[in-house]
Structure 1
Amino acid sequence: MSNDYQKTDPSRFLAAPRRSGATPNPAGTHALFSLSAYYFDTHRNTAGVYVLDLGSGRSHLLSQDTKATGHVWTGFGSDVLWQKQVAGTTELWIDDAAAPGKRMYRAGLIDCLISTQKIVRLTDDAFAIVALGPKTGVAAPSTYSTATECLFLPGQGLIADSSTERVLWYLRFDVDASQPELHFNLSWHIMDIIRDTGVTFAPYSGIVLMGPTNLDVSPSGLVFAGRTRNQSEQEQRNWTSDAFFLPISYLHSPKSQTNIVLQKLTTEKYSGTVTLPIITSSGLVAFLKNEDRAKMTSKNHIFYGKVSDNSITKELILHTGPIIEELWSLNPEKLMWSNDEKKIFISAADTGRQRAFQLSIPNIEASANDKNIPTALEFGLGSISSIYNYSSSPSDKRILVSKTGFVDSSTFLTVHPPTNTFTILSTLTDCEELGLNRGQVSEFWFQGDGDYQVHSWIIKPSFFQETEKYPLALLIHGGPLSSWQDSWSTRWNPILFAEEGYIVVCPDVTGYNEEFKEAAIREIGGRPYKDIEKCFAYIEKHITCADTSNAVALGGSYGGYLIYWLAGQPFARNFKALVAHAGMFNAATLYASDVPEIWKVLFGGYDSDPSQIVKVFEKWDPAQFAHRWQTPILITHAGSLNDGACSVHFRAMKGVESKFLSFPDEGHFVLKPENSLQWHRVVIDWMNKHTRE
């Protein structure tokens, strides 16, 4: 076994610059992105908003004002609007991104805190934003109490009382003709634009906060996910919603908002949630709706239509090819209209990668039997983090793609769909400076516990030598809807563990298509766990550089649960040590966990009767096997400590070596840089202690 394992300190990875995706302006001349970095030596964070020149690939700083947020293009040249929250108010500022500071001015002031969601150019001399703001339109009163009042506990879909309810606002900006240069002022705003309609905005999709992605606006109107009061009372967990359209004519002036009639965009089937609605200037809409509110894994389906056509939408049935009758197995996650409104671009996870696909849209009158075949966009290795039309010109077919990879923290590129080629615009070099290279990454398939193949990644150290054996680190992903993707992250980055001298294997035990994922429901300690055993057996036989007699297993969230489950099985004897983060140890504590909605569905479906769900708990409760535990385990938690404390106490009573690490100021994930560094150091020290003895 190689002794050259201390390649780099985790702080070098965690200090690497973090760059967001790039968002182009409608003219296709510039793009906005944010860039941040944390310096552990000074314990300071630096962050800024930058402008990328799409012609030259060079970038320059727009702002490092820590109070400035929500930078968006106004739709007029290179003008950018952002907001500053000051003393309970929101200031709205505009600047020219091409020449920062030369024409910066305050365009408006709101006497409470709002957050910009979407922006739209209305005419040649006006634009508007849709924002989230308080229902009362005034700042919340100050209080010296630390009490929290809500209908559900934080972590359980926090729904605040009515005094802090966030509703949709509409703000209009018009050109100030008295100014010598292009200058906009906030003309007026409307609070709670859908009040008295019986419908509320649904920023949540199931248990996931979609935020700005759950609405869109164009010159034709606003499309959003919403639910009626009956739905809100019926489905307190927000697992069902519909798509609604509000014509822009209702928002022409503050006085025009009377007798509003929302158009419900009907779907012929499916009772789940609407997500990611998008709308074009001409009124073409598209959105995703999943099949069943009772199934967390139910597949998203694409619906599209024109708002003037009696609000009826049609489902796009996706196929794999013109001859094969098999339906498209991937799950659409995000949509974007092409500039000419003839195509939709789809983002979906596919075999360890987040990919983008294009799909030609048939006429509404087209036959339901027509084959709709998505074709993949070529952008090289890695996973997309965002895609945008390069400009707003109908003749411009280019797409601006932002992507990352296991050894690529950020790349911006131009994709040319007609020829399926791409050109790199800008890339960060920090991964190269860390000594990382693509040769460290490979993939393999192994036979699962049934008649199916399971995909897995393998990551080796940058100093890997064929003649050496390295300890094995088996990483188990969360979810279970998640997967190990070829993307960069500062959380559970396999490359970081590899650089500590481990052969890192990341099996995707719940797969990529919905059938594969659905099979894990009510079998959460069954088939996925057995696939892990099969993966280990494959490694023993085929991956000779991995020292399986010197192995550790790590998992977070659902992966943490599987670590607890594994600990009570004979299979645990194959590991020198285990690491469990934010997992569920005792099924009886499910309702006190930090993500109870996920666990409830995994165990028993969407059932409002806890007594029925508890009956299912018993079969897959890791605590029932705690008396068998022998393998040393590190238990880490953020926020809720119930399951972590339970498992630690069980370990202590059994006399099994264990260690506990908690972060009371974190949520389900450990996100703060100093906390993240401590987490990685403790985890790596635990791994090394038991594999380097």
Structure 2
Amino acid sequence: MTVRANKFTPEVLLSAPRRSAATPNPAGTLALFTVSTYSFQSHSKTSEIRVLDIKTGQSQLLSSDLNATEPTWLLEKNLVLWLTGGEKGKTNLVLADAENLAQRPETIATFDGQVSNLKVIRLDSDTIALAVTGLASPSGELYNSENTKKPQSTGKVYSSLFVRHWDAYVSECTNSIWYTTLRKSQGIQGMKVEPLINALKGHSVALESPVPTFGGRGDFDISKNGLVFVAKDPKLNPANYTKTDLYYIPLKTFRESQAPSPQIVKTGNLKGYSNSPVFSPDAKSVVFTRMRSIQYESDKPRLLIVPDITDLTNVQEFFETEDGEGGWDLRPESITFSQDGSELYVTAEENGRGKLFKLPASPRYATNLPQALVNNGTVTDAKVLPDGKLFISSNSLVDNSVYSVLDPKEPSSSSIISSNSKSGKTFGLSQDQVDEFWYTGAGDYKVHAWVVKPSNFDKSKKYPLAYLIHGGPQGAWNEAWSTRWNPAVFAEQGYVVVTPNPTGSTGYGMALQNGIKNQWGGRPYLDLVKGFEYIESNLPFVDTSRAVALGASYGGYMVNWIQGHPLGRKFKALVTHDGVFSTLNQYASDELFFPHHDFGGTIWENREGYEKWDPAKYVQNWATPHLIIHNELDYRLPISEGLAPFNVLQMKGIDSRFLTFPDENHWVLKPENSLVWHNEVLGWINKYSGIAKEQEELRTGATEMKL
């Protein structure tokens, strides 16, 4: 970004360049990243692959192909591979030279279908192994919708779950991992790519990886010793169980026409969700995470290691305790090995931040809890440089992309290489707007909340409150950037934004997170009441008489719950995005393990538990003006969960408005739709908080001064 915004508006948020995490080359001199922008003037998107000079922080254009994705170093000088959409549903594999930008990129292979999640690894001086993921047809071939005969009927028949998942009806095709090799000949024109081979085809057990719907690069890894991946247990109903297992397929050449049968990695009493398998630099070990519960998607992941991939019976847990709870009370996510394989760098939430931690790569030596290397913002990726330093991609509440270099031996030595918004300045934002506080919740525990103030904040003035309630419910407001719920957008309208992390929130220990079970409208609601009371008593610059409350998903549920309870009368207006209207309707959802866990069983086993926290039970108390937003493609919470509360509001004569997008799912992702979403939401709350009147008075006054 080169132009500073006069004011951080929804248009600025949505049109600002969005950078991916950056990946350094083997020499540690350059880094690849993608950046996309959207123009509301031309109503069009641009997408680029760029090469960053790590020393200077300057970047150069490598490709402006709108369909180019996933640039990957070829581990050979500075050659780069990427994928791009081809004709008739195919995918092209493109090769370019980052040291010779004048040389035109060349397509070196075309795959007959859509593939993604490109990974490469060197096998020998002339051969590189490559892996991608893509849909497989029932016969195990790469699926291409352009080659498929269209049926005469649109009917779909199912005899097992899922019927539909997230935003699509489930088809006969399944995700699969494909491998092949690139063999070097001469120069950029000399790469020979062998045909793709389906690693999961032809086995006695049918497995699917990456795991739908959000599985991707983190679900598998490759090395010179083969392939590891996670897949759902095929014996269990995927709608009712979260269990995924880790499998290993030994591959010697990556040209095997039939992959050996996947070997399962057994982990004793840990039988829940597995994720993030990563090979060590010498390809001998694999580190991954696994949960204990087979029906809880937000259970605590444990760090595990297979020290010797040829001996899958030896699996060791980091910070193991006799009671099975584990000694580290955080939730490890992504994992990176140090250059020599002796240490691990792991991301995890803690107290509203996405931190990066360091620990020994052996449970035997990991006797102390991990040490935090990065304590502020949210780390999205960490890569090891040749000198042992870390190249880190991160963001914050005021900056949407930061690249920095950190010496793990001296964490305070971190230096910023590139900031997409110059630490927020190009957005008109600064870290000075961000604050936080802790308060006593409904029980003997503390609750954390972020505060974001307007950029022109004056402590002598009073600002209306925007009370934002996060979804999940096992989620959190972190010191992180968002293009969907960005606190700074609300703050720049003239609000003091408070984002509390009540019972159910992640990153504050498992006791607080798990406290929401059978308590959806209980402890979290009381925590929010306590938070509101704290604001009234301790933040003199907040005008709680002009407060508004907003939430999505579980946050939308909570806004509906608040509407029927005393806290609802504290707000001038409410906004519910894709929320739960009635907990008795949870069986219209897709992932049934979710209500089964949070409501303590099936609806026939514990109907009282569902009824106890049902917002629809209290509609007689609804009185506050309320905007309802619900999307047609949200199969997690079907459209009826939005239409029903709007019908109630209209029938009761309460000021209300309904917004829907027929082409959006649980989120609003398309820029033009997102702009409408922001304008509707801000227009609604500004009307009832009085900000719209203030803005009009300012416009009128400015016009009169000009005259």
TM-score in terms of structure 1 length: 0.90
Match of 2:67 in 1: 67
Is the contact between residue 477 and residue 483 of structure 1 (CA under 8 Å) also seen in structure 2? Answer: yes
From 619, 626, 641, the counterpart of 1:633:
626
Partner residue of 2:105? 104
Report if aligned partners of 1:592, 1:642 keep a CA contact under 8 Å in 2.
Answer: no
Q: How does 1:507-656 map to 2 (within 5 A)?
A: 507-509=500-502, 510-511=504-505, 512=507, 513-593=509-589, 598-605=594-601, 607=602, 610-639=603-632, 640-656=638-654
Q: CA RMSD in A?
A: 2.4
* Superposition map of 1:264-343 within 5 A: 264-280=264-280, 281-305=282-306, 306-317=308-319, 327-343=327-343
Residue by residue over 1:403-447, the C-alpha shift from the partner in whole angstroms, topping out at 9 and shown as x without a partner, is 111111211000100111211111123631232111110000000
Contact 1:472–1:504 at 8 Å: present in 2 too?
yes
Q: For 2:332 and 2:250, locate their aligned partners in 1 and report how far apart those are by CA, in whole Å.
A: 27
Contact 1:221 1:283 (8 Å CA) reproduced: no
Partner of 2:55, secondary structure, is coil
Alpha-carbon deviation of 1:124? 1.1
Pick the aligned partner of 1:414 from 405, 410, 430: 405
Q: Given that residues 34 and 50 in structure 1 are in contact (C-alpha distance below 8 angstroms), is that contact kept between their aligned partners in structure 2?
A: yes
- For 2:167 and 2:319, how far apart are their aligned partners in 1? 32
The equivalent position to 2:215 in structure 1, one of 210, 213, 217, is: 210
Following TM superposition, by how much is the alpha carbon of 1:336 offset from its aligned partner in structure 2, in angstroms?
A: 1.4
CA distance in structure 1 between the aligned counterparts of 2:25 and 2:204, rounded to whole angstroms: 34
1:221 to 226, 229, 242: 226
SS at match of 1:12: helix
Q: Find out whether 1:496 has 2:489 as its counterpart.
A: yes
2: CA distance, partners of 1:354 / 1:593? 30
| Alignment correspondent of 1:168 | 177
Residue type of the alignment partner of 1:644:
G
How far does the alpha carbon of each residue in 1:29-71 deviate from its partner, in whole angstroms, 9 at most, with x for none?
A: 2111111111112212222111111232210111111232232
1:31 touches 1:51 (CA, 8 Å); kept in 2? yes
Cα distance change, pair 103–45 in 1 and its aligned pair in 2 (3 A):
closer
Amino acid of the residue matched to residue 483 of structure 2? T
C-alpha distance in 1 between matches for 2:597 and 2:25: 41
Post-superposition Cα deviations, 1:318-370, rounded to whole Å, max 9, x if no partner, equal 79xxxxx993211111211111111111110111110100111237xx48xx6
Q: Give, in whole Å, the separation in 1 of the partners of 2:312 and 2:381.
A: 33
Stretch moving more, 80-89 or 16-25:
80-89
| Aligned residue pair count | 661
* Aligned-partner Cα distance in 1 for 2:335–2:275: 10
Q: Against the structure 1 CA distance between its residues 228 and 591, is the aligned structure 2 distance closer, same or farther, given a 3 Å change threshold?
A: closer
Preserved contact between residue 303 and residue 318 of structure 2 (Cα < 8 Å): yes
Residue identity over aligned pairs, in percent, reads 35
Structure 1 residues 353-368: aligned runs within 5 Å: 353-362=353-362, 366=364
Map of 1:387-406 to 2, 5 A cutoff?
Answer: 387-391=382-386, 396-406=387-397
CA distance 1:35–1:484, shift in 2 (3 Å): same
**Counterpart of 2:433?**
440
Matching residue of 1:322: none
| Compared CA separation, residues 180 and 120, structure 1 to 2 (3 A) | closer
Q: 1:381 aligns with which of 376, 379, 388?
A: 376
1:239 aligned residue (224, 242, 249): 242
- State how 1:244-259 maps to structure 2 within 5 Å: 244-249=247-252, 251-255=253-257, 257=258
Any unmatched runs of 5+ in structure 1? Answer: 1-5, 320-324
Q: Does 1:690 align with 2:685?
A: no
For residue 662 of structure 1, the aligned residue among 654, 660, 663 is 660
| Structure 1 residues 434 and 158, CA gap change in structure 2 (3 angstroms) | closer
Q: Does the Cα contact within 8 Å between 2:581 and 2:615 map onto a contact in 1?
A: yes
C-alpha distance in 2 between matches for 1:126 and 1:48: 29
Give the aligned residue type for 1:184: M
In 2 relative to 1, CA 398–182 (structure 1 residues): closer, same or farther, beyond 3 Å?
A: farther
Instruction: Give the match's secondary structure for 2:123.
Output: strand
Partner of 2:121: 120
Kindly provide the amino acid, as one letter, of the partner of residue 165 in structure 2: G
> Is residue 232–residue 238 contact of structure 2 (8 Å, CA) maintained in 1?
no
Superimposed CA distance per residue, residues 435-478 of structure 1 (whole angstroms, 9 cap, x where no aligned partner): 21111100000000000000000111011111100111110011
The alignment partner of 1:200 has SS state of coil
* Cα offset, 1:483, TM superposition: 0.6
User: In 2 relative to 1, CA 146–496 (structure 1 residues): closer, same or farther, beyond 3 Å?
Assistant: farther
Q: Which moved more, 1:88-97 or 1:519-528?
A: 88-97
Distance 1:443 1:600, change over 3 A: same
Any idea what the Cα deviations from partners look like across 1:506-541, whole Å, max 9, x if unmatched? Answer: 101133222211111110111011100000000000
- 530-539 or 421-430, which deviates more: 421-430
Cα deviation for residue 144 of structure 1 reads: 7.6
Aligned to 2:194: 187
1:230 partnered with 2:226: no
Q: Is the 8 Å Cα contact of residues 472 and 505 (structure 1) preserved in structure 2? A: yes
In structure 1, what is the equivalent of residue 697 of structure 2? Answer: none
> Which whole-Å CA distance do the structure 1 matches of 2:606 and 2:94 have between them?
52
CA gap of 1:131–1:318, structure 2 versus 1, over 3 A, is same
**Counterpart-to-counterpart distance in 1, 2:187 and 2:261:** 41
Output one character per residue of 1:637-680: Cα deviation in whole Å (capped at 9) or x when no partner: 12242111000111112111111111111010011111111111
AA aligned to 1:579 is V
What's the TM-score, normalizing by structure 2? 0.89
Range moving further from structure 2, 338-347 or 38-47: 38-47
CA contact (8 A) 2:129 2:254 kept: no
Cα distance change on mapping 1:311 and 1:247 into 2, 3 Å = farther
Q: Secondary structure at the match of 2:45?
A: strand
Instruction: Please give the alpha-carbon distance, in whole angstroms, between the structure 1 residues aligned to 2:615 and 2:470.
Output: 17
Q: Residues 499 and 180 from structure 1, CA distance in 2 versus in 1: closer, same or farther, beyond 3 angstroms?
A: closer
2:421 to 419, 423, 429: 429
**Structure 1 residues 615-639: Cα deviation after superposition (integer angstroms, max 9, x where no partner):** 4210010000001101111111122
Within 5 A, what are the aligned runs for 1:125-136?
125-133=126-134, 134=136, 135-136=140-141
- How far the C-alpha of 1:184 sits from its partner, in A, is 1.2
The whole-number CA distance in structure 1 between the counterparts of 2:267 and 2:362 is 17
Secondary structure, counterpart of 2:624 in structure 1: coil
State the SS of the aligned residue for 1:495: helix
Pair 1:146–1:113, CA change in 2 (3 A): farther
- Partners of 2:526 and 2:255 in 1: how far apart? 62
Evaluate the alpha carbon distance shift between residue 158 and residue 464 of structure 1 in structure 2; reply closer, same or farther with a 3 A threshold.
same
> In structure 1, what is the Cα distance between the partners aligned to 2:540 and 2:143?
65
